[in-house]
Structure 1
């Protein structure tokens, strides 16, 4: 009889403990779902921002752990990239970013916006070299990109050219791609150039400067209309 009473007591204790543990579990689970953790300070090398289904939408990272980029949900080959933010769209493509750095030789920062399925078409940029002969450039730059040569094709072409293992042959191959319009072309720059000119510089579809409206470093104003051969039109 005493043995039975002892076993009943043990079962009661077990039931009470189990009930308390279950209550704590549900309380903590509900708390985690209904409240946000708050930190005064956190040190981290990389943060991945994802959707509920795990789709990557943004990476905040240092230089060493920076994301190499995505094309059609496929991660690109490892490459050196600066610290900053990289953005990704729902199609699994990189679509822009903000990167920056500065060292003994140079400093720079760039905020880029990528065209759908391809590379950057707009960039707010700053770069500067150190030393007495420093070259400081900053402003807004625009590009045109072809719709029929997406980033996936561009990567394959670049990889094929690298396999040539011949600098001169590789250079000619890139020139051919550029002449065919596969690499896109710079169309517009508004800002300060390396020689101190501040203004607007517009290029044609071939990437040639055709119109300049600027003030030079001596505070002289200029409006220059240039033909396709680089000659000033008067």
Structure 2
């Protein structure tokens, strides 16, 4: 009996020792393992870049899994977006991106920079239609966006108009916003227009072209100053 008890005691000590060794091996083995891995090739539909606390900073995705956008750390409603990269800031807002796409009607690629609390204010873009008239344009665009009409209000406004399904009422609603200075206005374009003109096109706060410096498709140079109605005055 004493021999049996001694053998059981030895077996227990052996079991405990083996368990301790295994735990130490497991701990130090994973502790020293590199977190960086190298792949020669990988196929993936979407990649989320996050901070250590889980904050989303960038999404690289195909078209079907693209992020719908985010404002105040809340995802926007599902919508169709092109493949590319979407950027997010520390406030939980989408702040820009690089997207691209093509179909039977045309193709394009856009790099956008968003204003705080709202949509894009700067874009480097390329757009091209199909058919006999290509309507190819590319260049840099700048917009003015009001500070008192954030993206959340824009979305609510557009959703309310969709529910009305009334083109006349929608036109009046947009006219009212425009009179209040809440409509986004394009202010600057540098690039090539659909008409083949290459140059600078500068607009006033109402979106009217006031200065054009360009070379037309016939290689004629122009420097035009215009009034609010688009009439050349100099």
Q: TM-score, normalised by structure 1?
A: 0.93
Which residue does the alignment assign to 1:17?
18
Consecutive unaligned residues in structure 1, runs of 5 or more: none
Deviation at 1:128, TM superposition (A): 0.6
Cα-to-partner distance string for 1:183-231 (whole Å, 9 max, x where unaligned): 2100000000001000000000000111111001110111111101111
Which residue does the alignment assign to 1:85?
85
Q: Aligned pairs, how many?
A: 233
Consecutive unaligned residues in structure 2, runs of 5 or more: none
What SS does the aligned partner of 1:183 have? coil
CA distance in structure 1 between the partners assigned to 2:42 and 2:131 by the alignment: 36
Q: Which of 19-28 and 219-228 deviates more? A: 19-28
Cα-to-partner distance string for 1:100-156 (whole Å, 9 max, x where unaligned): 012232110000001111111100000111233211100000000111111111111
CA distance in structure 1 between the partners assigned to 2:22 and 2:104 by the alignment: 58
What SS does the aligned partner of 1:26 have? helix
Distance 1:6 1:104, change over 3 A: farther
Which residue does the alignment assign to 1:98?
98
Deviation at 1:37, TM superposition (A): 1.7
Give the alignment's Cα RMSD to 1 decimal: 1.6
Distance 1:28 1:170, change over 3 A: farther
Q: TM-score, normalised by structure 2?
A: 0.93
Q: Which of 86-95 and 124-133 deviates more? A: 124-133
CA distance in structure 1 between the partners assigned to 2:93 and 2:233 by the alignment: 43
Cα-to-partner distance string for 1:15-46 (whole Å, 9 max, x where unaligned): 243123212321233134x5412222211111
Which residue does the alignment assign to 1:71?
71
Structure-to-structure mapping, 1:190-209, within 5 angstroms: 190-209=190-209
